Amino acid sequence: MGRLVMKFGGTSVANIERIQNVARHVKREVDAGHEVAVVVSAMSGKTNELVAWCREASPMHDAREYDAVVASGEQVTSGLLAIALQAVGIQARSWQGWQLPISTSDAHASARITDIDGSEIIKRFGDRKEVAVIAGFQGINPETGRITTLGRGGSDTSAVAIAAALKADRCDIYTDVDGVYTTDPRVVPKAKRLDKVAFEEMLELASQGAKVLQVRSVELGMVHNMPIFVRSSFDKPEDIDPHGTPPGTLICSEEIIMENHVVTGIAFSKDEAQISVRRIEDKPGVAASIFGPLADANINVDMIVQNVSEDGKTTDLTFTVPAADFARAKQTITSAQDEIGYARFDSETDVAKVSVIGSGMRSHAGVAAQAFAALAARNINIRAITTSEIKFSVLIDAAYTELAVRTLHTLYGLDQV
């Protein structure tokens, strides 16, 4: 017997029929003797509807009331799933984030979990054999007593954090895909599902554009060494052996993976904007005068390239920001033009970032050079490059994104993984 946390996303609980299907998945694990907690998202499309209502009521709405509204989607789902479980003979009750409680910071709409008290749920596992159905995406700030939400995709983070708090054996993330692939199968039909991915690799994949898991959920899994299993909720519950290994991808520590491929996957993001601040006086503090205000505005800067003029007197700084933050980034920099002292502001929004990820890069030289040669052969121009120990990224024109992904996927033998 083990202890499992099962998380179901919006498409998995989109209507009553799918919620009943989820109940059968949960019943399978309970019947196998497992102690089970379930974390649910709002029904598909419901959070978007609630957000739209807030904006319609007032474009400049109170973030605390926004959280009170959007957290209601998960409350509905958790109650409905508890009812569906009771209907198939499973002892179950719903829990809202504040009832556990899941304690968070007071950063409404993007709160971070600070503590989870799982003692009552663990007690009920023993006393009542009760399944806990927990509303994801939400918590409570202990100082204010207000409901908080964790940001879009926050139910993944809730699930991994709850699994750690309950000392679960594994956190199963049920979604509309059957695992993590070498790249997006819609772009590369030959993409293969990976059986296992190291936490570090998954963190890079998620942060560079792969949409399977929220970045913070992977971070939590790595910190707490909590295995995460990504699997499909659309597999028939009765066809799955609860004691076997169903199709899916296990995200775990690198030590568990016997053999690392040089490259594990290719991620890409079209939600990028490139900014170039030109002919700035080359002196100490210039970079801080640009990136400081951007940090104060909570704008994440990714790829940074600096070019110094031949005479060494001026420099150009080129960097990328998320496309959604481009307008704020432009306003932040242009409003500080006198302080920065730049001559020209250039920008480009029709760009994409393509990233190659693999822990095997640590011990193999020339991996990036192969990519640069292959992209050049396809006449794909590289605007900027960043590297880390297990990843490198290139910024290219968005029109070449799919060609670049297919080229690199084939180059590193991922078509045959």
Q: Over its length of 417 residues, how does the chain's per-residue pLDDT go in tens digits? A: 699 999 999 999 999 999 999 999 999 999 999 999 999 999 999 999 999 999 999 988 999 999 999 999 999 999 999 999 999 999 999 999 999 999 999 999 989 999 999 999 999 999 999 999 999 999 999 999 999 999 888 999 999 999 999 999 999 999 988 999 999 999 999 999 999 999 999 999 988 877 788 889 999 999 999 999 999 988 888 888 877 777 899 999 988 886 667 899 999 999 899 999 998 888 888 888 899 999 988 898 988 888 876 667 888 889 999 998 999 999 999 988 888 888 899 999 999 999 999 988 887 878 999 999 999 999 999 998 988 889 999 999 999 999 999 999 999 999 886
Binding residues: 7-10, 47, 74, 175-176, 181, 186, 211-212
- Measured in whole angstroms, the distance separating CA 399 from the mean position of its chain's CA atoms is 25
The contacts found for 217-222 with CB under 8 angstroms, 24 or more apart, are: 217/153, 217/156, 217/157, 217/159, 217/160, 217/173, 218/160, 218/251, 220/157, 220/160, 220/161, 220/164, 221/160, 221/171, 221/251, 222/253
Binding residues for ATP: 7-10, 175-176, 181, 186, 211-212
Residues 317, 343 contacting (CB under 8 angstroms): no
Give, as one character, the DSSP assignment of residue 303.
-
pTM summary value: 0.87
In sequence order, the β-bridge partners of residue 252 are 198
Closest by CA position to 209, among listed 77, 385, 401, 8: 401
3-state secondary structure of 95: strand
- The contacts of residue 38 (CB under 8 Å, 6+ apart) are 5, 6, 7, 8, 22, 26, 81, 131, 132, 133, 134
| DSSP states along 265-301 | EEEEEEEEEEEEEEEEE--TTHHHHHHHHHHHTT---
Closest by CA position to 276, among listed 303, 310, 296: 303
Torsion angle defined by CA atoms of residues 119, 124, 125 and 127, in that order, rounded to the nearest 10 degrees? 130
> Could you check whether the bond before residue 284 is cis, i.e. omega within 30 degrees of 0?
no
Binding residues for substrate: 47, 74
Burial class (CB in 10 A: 0-12, 13-18, 19+), 145: exposed
Torsions phi, psi for 241 (to 5 deg): -85, 115
Domains, the chain, with CATH or none? 3-254 (3.40.1160.10), 266-416 (3.30.2130.10)
pLDDT on residue 258? 67
For residues 64 and 202, give the distance between their C-alpha atoms in angstroms, rounded to a whole number: 32
